[in-house]
Amino acid sequence: MQIYLPIAETSVNAFTLLGVGGGVGLLSGMFGVGGGFLITPLLFFIGVPPAVAVATGVNQVVASSISGVLAHLKRKTVDLRMGTVLLIGGLIGSIIGIWFFNLMSRLGQIDLIVQLSYVIFLGIIGALMLQESLRALIRSKNPTAPRRKLHIHTWVHNLPFKMKFRTSGLYISVFPPLAVGMGVGILAAIMGVGGGFILVPAMIYLLGMPTKVVIGTSLFQVTFVAAFTTMMHAITNQSVDVMLAIFLIVGGVVGAQFGTRIGLKLRAEQLRILLAILVLSVSGKIAFDLLWTPSEFYSITVPGRF
Amino acid sequence: MRAALIILLFWCALPLRAEEVIAGLSQNRVSLTVNFEGSEILIFGAVRREALLPADSDLDVIVAVEGPPQPAVIWRKARRLGIWVNTDAQEVRAAPSFYAVATTRPLRDILSPEADLTHRISTRLAIFEARGVSDRTDPAAFTEALIRIREEQGLYQSRYEAVTLERDTLFSTRILLPKTIVEGSYSARIFLVRNGDVIDEFETFIDVQKAVLERWLTNLAYEQPFLYGLLALALAVFFGWGASALFRLVRS
């Protein structure tokens, strides 16, 4: 059954869409990630124009993180003060990202920029995750090895405008969280992701936040930044396709429910290795497309259309 | 069919020519509904003749269907620092978003280049390149690429011998509109050809429109983008939160 997407102005198989949404939902439930970094490239692969894939992907992030953030707010595992600082950075970053996205669209380079961001960020994150989880696996087999110190205080934390973050037990400059939030906002706008895969490690290793509040606070920031970015894409380049979004969201929500149950049965180290391999293979596939000599050297863009 | 009959009546009242063409479409309205996956249009008609059938030449029929023209930019990739990047671009002032030519025999066998130029029948002539001198060494390569890519997408079709002509009088052909067609008024031109020249021409239109919901969403997205964005968010919140609430309810 084909579904006509009114904004993308093409039709896509409905079951493929539900499959993409469901598959990514399953993985996101298993690994506890948003899945935006998988949805957007998968949409490219099935022929959705990149601009529509990015804008709709970020809309899907809102749906996949909203119930999580509500649950964390109820459990009071959100550092609202830190979340707000990260969010302010995120909104600034999103505006910069949207500006850059629209500029590159006009110059005909947006596909390249999106693909390059995926290769670089997924490549780095995937490699770091793989290294970290392999090390953890070795450590678990050799418990006498020394443990790494969790939070190292560096010069970055001593910049001016220090602020107390009581929930996280931190007294640091506002600049590091603002910068981290901004970086995530830029990525959300350009890549159509929530940015949790950057935000969570940055909060733990860079800001030194306690793991207890990391997930809730990152979900808080991601939800609002994704919502804001959706609005920005809708207003500046009309590339959000709600028909596409509904199919992805419905598939995703159902998939996530099953994914969560599967995730509980697997061991954390194994899960992280699997996720790292998944992230690396997505990055590898896109890198291959950029490096491999294309069969068609020409492409067409129609101004005002995707 | 009724439209064809009305046209037929009008046509009977017209002054006489040696051979005239009259045609109809299986549908002159295409709706881009939620399950749209392309549409096939039957174009049929007849040749009316006052004199005897000329014996010295062959009669051929050309059917050309053209979608609304759009400007376009054609990009060419080159390898830069190991990766393939869009480096050169050429603009086209107007290229039809859809163009199909169907004929009884190969176009170059039945139509003279002069007649092709006057009536702009072949695909190449339907594309208007940008005026002014190009700094490229091979501007034609870009236009050829445009045609090649759109042919692969089914947006441009050159289908020779796809028109069936029976007893030099009745003809018909089918034109497939792919799922990626854009909205607008599509023209269908039918030419009668003898000795390389067009002896009669008939034009009719197909109206391609998004269906009610699709139309509404597109209008909202372009005219009220703020409201559209809010709608997208509301749906995301509703489905995202609603579905997990539902699952929780089912489990407990």
Interface of B with A in 72-101 (CB under 8 A): 72-79, 82-86, 89, 97
Percentage helix, strand, coil for chain B under 3-state DSSP, each rounded to 5: 30, 40, 25
Distance, in Å, from the CA atom of B38 to the CA atom of B125, rounded to the nearest integer, reads 26
Chain B residues in contact with A70 (beta carbon < 8 A): 241
Quick one: tokens of A184? 């995530």
Q: Which CATH architecture does the domain made up of B2-210 adopt?
A: Sandwich (2.60)
Q: What angle do CA A62, A66, A68 make, to 5 degrees?
A: 130
Most confident of A46-55, A121-130, A219-228, A272-281: A219-228
CB A291 to CB B84 under 8 A? Answer: yes
pLDDT value at A122 more than 90:
no
Per-residue pLDDT at B133: 54
Residue B134 is predicted with a pLDDT of 58
**B residues 188-247 lying closer than 8 A (beta carbon) to A:** 210, 213-215, 217-218, 221-222, 225-226, 228-233, 235-237, 239-241, 243-245, 247
Q: Say which residue the tokens 């702009």 belong to.
A: B120
- The answer to whether the Cα torsion of A256, A257, A258, A264 is positive or negative is positive
The band of A175, judged by pLDDT with boundaries at 50, 70 and 90, is confident
- The whole-number average pLDDT for the span A124-149 is 74
Give the residue carrying structure tokens 């299986």. Answer: B26
Point out the residue among B79, B237, B247 whose CB comes nearest to the CB of A66: B237
The pLDDT of residue B142 is 86
Q: Quick one: which of B213, B243, B251, B246 has its CA closest to A250?
A: B243
Tell me, what's the pLDDT at A93? 94
Supply the pLDDT for residue B82: 84
Answer with the residue of higher pLDDT: A221 or A271: A221
Q: What share of chain A has pLDDT > 70, as a percent?
A: 94
pLDDT digits (tens, 9 = 90+) for B10-56: 555 554 567 888 888 888 888 888 888 888 899 998 888 877 777 77
Between A98 and A139, whose confidence is greater?
A: A98
Q: Average pLDDT in the A169-190 region?
A: 88
- Residue B121: the pLDDT is 87
pLDDT band at A97 (very low <50, low <70, confident <90, very high): very high
pLDDT score recorded for residue B4: 63
- Parts of chain B with a pLDDT under 50: 15
- pTM, full prediction: 0.81
The pLDDT of residue A278 is above 70: yes
A195-237 pLDDT, tens digit each: 888 888 888 888 888 888 888 888 899 999 999 999 999 999 8
**DSSP state string for B138-179:** -HHHHHHHHHHHHHHTTSEEEETT-SEEETTTEEEEEEEEPT
* Domain boundaries along the sequence of chain B: 2-210, 212-252
